[in-house]
Structure 1
Amino acid sequence: MEKPRLLSLGADEAERGLMRWAFSRDYDVLEASGRAEAVDIARDGRAAVGIMDLCLPPSKAQGAAEGMKAVREVLSTNPLFKAVVLTDLDRREHAMRAIDIGAFDFFTKPVEIEDVRLTVRRAINTYRLQVESMGGQPGAAWPGELIGLSQPMQQVFSTVRKVAEVNIPALVRGEPGTGKETLARAAHRVSSRHSMPFVKVACDSMPENVLGAELFGRASADGLAVCKGKIDLADGGTLYLEEAGTMSLTIQKRLLDRLFSRCPEKPPPGAKACADTRVISSSTRDLRTMVRAGEFSEDLYNRLAIITLDVPPLRDRGEDVYMLAVYFLKKYSKELGKPVIGFSAGAVEAISGYSWPGNVREMENRIKRAVSFSKNSEIAAGDLFLPSGATGCVQGSLADTREAFRKRMIYEVLSRNSGNVTRTASELGISRQYLSRLIARFNIKVAR
């Protein structure tokens, strides 16, 4: 079996030698002594994870400017790259800035090799999970807004792939701003209909008579010309009904007849009687409750909801929150031409502690505004204009978060191995003795 490749970036040959000695048994270690060499390795896809020393020449004596450039350029070249950064104890703030711009984790020197080994294994697993969630090719399938490692989002990705594979209607449910349209577009993008139109109809934005003409088309006054409806425009592709629960019962009946009846209503002149259209609907309201209340057609619901996809609110997505924040920061820094490279420590805590009632849409809008008006290289907590007192629940630090990840990972692997320490240590790539110390430190108990 081919070993995973690991980038080792550092100006000190002896330190690179130590990393080579520590990791060469389990990894194909690719060494780089400078920024350009490291960027080439990442660009060529030769490594997806790297141990990167921030103290590089020519700025080694003054700080970590060159190392920060290396991290930034590597992540720009390959957004999924996992950079584990090393820095001197008195330059810890540089490591924190590296985390802000997307580094995976950091250590202060001198390092405990077993700690680094465990983090590298976690980084490799994270990278593989992200690639798998995107259909096997980094960046090939999902748009950036669908980045997510949380369990709820992994379930969403799995369902989206199923939706894409079959030519039957699907219903996307979730709170406002969770990304229902983004998911519908992703399902279309990776389906066999990807080269055909994706046609959106905002059912909640127009009165009944206008919506009817929008969906079904209309003939001109003289009856000679025809204005095609969105159903016909989506022929061969996907029709996306946004907020389907706002349609009147009259429109629902016509839609049921036009799309799902063997004897559909007569279309306008020039329009097809039966359009080859795949329907994806979305709703923030519970359509089942509306059916029971007589507000939504049961027949139409049963046809639209053959597959259902529930999008989790952002507050339930754990580790995805900060990943999305970094994505939007990079997106709008580039689009708006602003030299904003990260978040301050206070902003990181604010982002992590806020409940985001407006979900992904609220986060995108707040970060876009913050980048637009920023005059600094970092976004501060105040730039986000979060409601007063909204982040008071934040506790602990980035180090606490890392410890929590480590504890959870050990617990999950130990549970999977029925408490067998030897097998768990082997799977994690650390020594049995070190794993035993971590189990004691975290007070982990697993039934054998």
Structure 2
Amino acid sequence: MLRSLLIVEDDPGLQSQLKWCFDGYEVQIAGDRVSAIAVLRRVAPPVITLDLGLPPDPANVSEGIATLKEVLRLAPRTKVIVVTGNDDRANALKALELGAYDFYQKPIDSDVLKVIIDRAYQLYELEEENRNLALRQGKSPLDGVIANSPEMLDVCRIIEKVGPTDATTLLLGESGTGKEVLAKAIHEISARNEYPFVAINCASIPDTLLESELFGYEKGAFTGAAKRTLGKIEHANGGTLFLDEIGDMPLSLQAKLLRFLQERVIERVGGRAEISVDVRVICATNRDLDEMIGSGTFREDLFYRVSEITINIPPLRDRAGDAVLLAWAFLAKFAAQNSTKVRGFSKEALQSIEDYSWPGNVRELENKIKRAVIMAEGSQISAEELQLSAGSEESQPFNLREVRDQAEASAVSRALTYVEGNVSKAAELLGVSRPTLYDLVNKYGLK
């Protein structure tokens, strides 16, 4: 296949000269910004040569710079080679600052320009190859994390960057999304992994006991305090403290936690001595902390302390493909634990796993698979044994023609809606001609 090249040039003479002097390229010509963007949307050329002096203001570079910005906004990986006059070096440098790949000064020598274009195309292909390789090998080395969806792989990459630091981290996500698993993963890739990982659920301990659980207490501090007892914070010294459901921490205790985070010292209940503690803190909650701050039930200054790094964990329903991937992992785990002969799922069972909305997230999926493994009568788990209600979404097809048709119809509908039914503007957005758009509208019954 010929390589695609777009030449943006308003001079008819240069257009004719350049159109035929690049062997191995399918050359597209555009004389202004509108036609250049239309070609970009339709063809998506990897390399573009761009004359900065374009109509309606060919004497200046404003239109060329605007074209460059729009090209890089729509296709940021495109290699743009800016073509300038001999006395226009300042604008060429400005274009490079904006993201252009290279510049070339007129008069044009097609042989020299072809070398620059060839190098740009080779770099583009190399970057695409590396990007595709990274996507194919985009599995996270995080211990305990099973994911292959782009959403969770993005989360894993953030954790890989945050883990080696000592930044206080806040994990936000619905109940059952795996916040503690990710907190442990952060601990395991940190320099503190040889020291304790200590977790405490702030919602599961009565308010009257939570302070002593966290900070410890001295002998005689209260009735029943027969000896000095270290709290969770001291037990985590040198390692990581995980405060789960921090949104449920009572307001009276938040001030004391804030002081610990600021000073890294604690006082045991009933004690007077300040004790220095070296601990990394990770917090998690399924509550809306912004709303709680507005209602006065969560301290704003504490929020800023615990959220040096904030990581949003997507719910399972928004993680394409992860439900089935996790189901296979849980099947292997529980089949080994229960010594059963269950080895797989029926086709209908896999479809029901994919279609179900999983309001309880990964925790619900784990419980469903565990029950099904125990109750299964054959070597495969059936849809009935999973006991899932009907999915909230339509089943996604595997047939490529169906997938393409669905995506095409959706794109046409969105484009028409975006421009309030203006066919010319919709065709421009989609990168197709008006007749083609009319054919698509008729094909999919859109109005």
* Band the TM-score falls in, shorter-chain normalisation: 0.5 to 0.7
Q: Percent identity?
A: 40
Aligned to 2:394: 393
Does residue 136 of structure 2 align to residue 134 of structure 1?
no
Distance 1:217 1:402, change over 3 A: farther
Aligned residue pair count: 275
1:169 is the counterpart of 2:168: yes
Contact 1:172 1:311 in 2 (8 A): yes
1:225 CA displacement: 3.6
**Hey, what's the Cα distance between the residues in 2 that align with 1:238 and 1:207?**
23
**Residues 402/191 of structure 1: CA separation in 2 closer, same or farther (3 Å cut):** farther
Distance in 1 (CA, whole Å) between partners of 2:310 and 2:385 is: 38
Question: Do residues 213 (structure 1) and 212 (structure 2) align?
Answer: yes
**Residues 389-443 of structure 1: CA distance to partner in whole angstroms, max 9, x if unpaired?**
33672253xx4279859x99xxxxxxxxxxxxxxxxxxxxxxxxxxxxxxxxxxx
Rounded Cα–Cα distance in structure 1 between residues aligned with 2:242 and 2:365: 24
Indicate the residue corresponding to 1:363 in structure 2.
365
Structure 1 counterpart of 2:295: 293
| Residues 214 and 229 in structure 1, CA contact (< 8 A), matched pair in contact too | yes
Question: Using the alignment, how far apart are the partners of 1:298 and 1:156 within structure 2?
Answer: 25
Aligned to 1:28: none
CA gap 1:165/1:401 in 2 versus in 1, 3 angstroms: farther
Q: Secondary structure at the match of 2:275?
A: coil
Matched residue, 2:231: 229
Question: Can you give the 5+ residue segments of structure 1 that lack an aligned partner in the other structure?
Answer: 1-123, 136-140, 409-448
User: Which digits, 9 at most, give the CA deviation of each residue in 1:335-384, with x for residues without a partner?
Assistant: 11111111001101111111111111110000000001112100000011
Alignment match, 2:318: 316
User: Structure 2 vs 1, CA of residues 402 and 275 (structure 1 numbering), >3 Å: closer, same or farther?
Assistant: farther
Residue pairs, 1:170-209, within 5 angstroms: 170-209=169-208
Q: CA deviation at 1:294?
A: 1.1
Change beyond 3 A, Cα 1:305–1:269: same
The Cα shift of 1:319 comes to: 1.7
Alignment of 1:404-415 (within 5 A): 404=403
| Distance of aligned partners of 1:362 and 1:269 in 2 relative to their CA distance in 1, 3 Å threshold | same
Look up the match of 1:280.
282
Moved more, 256-265 or 309-318: 256-265
Aligned mates of 2:220, 2:358 — CA distance in 1: 49
Q: Following the alignment from structure 1 to structure 2, what is the Cα–Cα distance between the partners of residues 203 and 266?
A: 18
1:131 Cα deviation after fit: 4.9
Q: Conserved in 2, the CA contact under 8 Å of 1:259 and 1:275?
A: no
| Structure 1 residues 345 and 287: alpha-carbon distance in aligned structure 2, compared to 1, 3 A threshold | same
Q: How does 1:142-153 map to 2 (within 5 A)?
A: 142-143=143-144, 146-153=145-152
1:186 and 1:271, CA in 2 relative to 1: closer, same or farther beyond 3 A? farther
225, 243, 251: which one aligns with 1:249: 251
Cα separation, partners in 2 of 1:361 and 1:169, compared to 1, 3 Å = same
* CA pair 264-364 structure 1, distance change in 2 beyond 3 A: closer
Residues 104-155 of structure 1, C-alpha deviations (whole Å, 9 max, x = no match): xxxxxxxxxxxxxxxxxxxx999964754424xxxxx321xx2222121111
The amino acid that maps onto 2:150 is Q
Alpha-carbon distance, 1:269 to partner: 5.8
Instruction: Give the whole-Å Cα distance in 1 for the aligned partners of 2:299 and 2:196.
Output: 27
Equivalent pair of 1:228/1:271 in contact (CA under 8 Å): no
What is the distance in 2 between the residues matched to 1:401 and 1:323? 21
Which residue of structure 2 lines up, in the alignment, with residue 159 of structure 1?
Answer: 158
SS in 2 for 1:200: strand
Quick one: structure 1 residues 343 and 313, their matched pair in 2 at CA, closer, same or farther if it must change by over 3 Å?
Answer: same
- For residues 390 and 170 of structure 1, what CA distance do their matches in structure 2 show? 34
Q: Of 381, 389, 409, which aligns to 2:383?
A: 381
Amino acid at match of 1:142: D
Q: Highest CA radius of gyration, 1 or 2?
A: 2
Q: Secondary structure at the match of 1:231?
A: helix
| Distance of 1:272 and 1:132 partners within structure 2 | 46
Instruction: Work out whether residues 170 and 309 of structure 1, in 8 Å CA contact, stay in contact via their aligned partners in 2.
Output: yes
Whether the aligned pair in 1 keeps the contact of 2:217 and 2:231 (CA below 8 Å) is yes
Asked if structure 1 preserves the Cα contact closer than 8 Å seen for 2:140 and 2:153, the reply is no
Residues 392 and 191 (structure 1 numbering): CA distance in 2 closer, same or farther, change over 3 Å?
closer
Offset at 1:246? 0.4
For residues 240-274 of structure 1, the C-alpha deviation after alignment (integer angstroms, 9 at most, x for no partner) is: 00100001111101111223237754666698612
- Mapped partners of 1:265, 1:159: distance in 2: 34
CA contact (8 A) 1:343 1:380 kept: yes
CA distance in 1, matches of 2:283, 2:276: 19
Which residue of 1 is the match for residue 119 of structure 2? Answer: none
Q: For residues 283-333 of structure 1, what are the alpha-carbon distances to aligned partners after superposition, in whole Å with 9 as ceiling and x for unaligned? A: 101112211221111111111000001100011111222111111111111
Whole-Å Cα distance in 2 between the matches of residues 336 and 402 of structure 1? 42
Partner SS state of residue 243, structure 2:
strand
> Structure 1 residues 320 and 404 mapped into 2: Cα distance closer, same or farther (>3 Å)?
farther
For 2:287 and 2:217, how far apart are their aligned partners in 1?
Answer: 30
CA-atom RMSD in angstroms: 2.9
- Structure 2's unaligned 5+ residue stretches are 1-129, 408-447
- In the alignment, the residues of structure 2 paired with residue 193 and residue 271 of structure 1 have an alpha-carbon distance, to the nearest angstrom, of 26
Mapped partners of 1:392, 1:296: distance in 2: 36
Aligned residue type for 1:220: K
Do residues 353 (structure 1) and 355 (structure 2) align? yes
In structure 2, what residue type is equivalent to 1:328? F
State TM-score, norm by structure 2: 0.57
